[in-house]
Amino acid sequence: MREPLPARPSAGRGAGSPVMYCAVFRCAYNAHMRSARAEPARKRRKTPTNLSLRADLVRRAKRLGLNLSQVVETALEAAIRDAEKDQWLAENQQAIAEYNAFIAKHGLFGDDQRLF
């Protein structure tokens, strides 16, 4: 089950708003994940693996012409990505909270210069 996102400052459009919180979080997380996905294609070889799947699901997938290997690989990638995201959040929760507290107290650089 997913953990809730770390606490963020109250709603609003200025410094520390949920909009700013989300933008900063996405930027840091995406930078982290880009480096994690930088694995060269030559290292992405396939490994034969035995799986136990429900027979009715396999029949339905074959009837629909689905590639079981591709479906499982895509689902596994999504599950790994979600688990890594949750792990990254847990490891960085304190830093995110400290950053949000700093922004709530001091605001963002250039806030007084914004026209929106």
- The first and second tokens of residue 81, run together, are 């990505």
Kindly give, in sequence order, each residue whose CB lies less than 8 Å from that of residue 17, ignoring residues fewer than 6 positions away. Answer: 9, 11
Structural domain spans, the chain:
18-39+52-113
CA angle 15, 25, 107 (to 5 degrees): 15
What is the model's pTM?
A: 0.56
Kindly provide the b/e burial profile for residues 32-42, where b requires at least 16 CB atoms within 10 angstroms of the residue's own CB: eeeeeeeeeee
Q: What is the pLDDT of residue 13?
A: 47
How does pLDDT run across 15-60, given as a tens digit for each residue? Answer: 455 545 555 566 666 666 666 665 555 567 889 999 999 999 999 9
Q: What is the pLDDT of residue 106?
A: 87
87 or 16, which is more confident?
Answer: 87
If you average pLDDT over residues 108-115, what whole number do you get?
Answer: 79
Q: Where are the alpha helices (DSSP H) in the chain?
A: 18-36, 55-63, 68-106
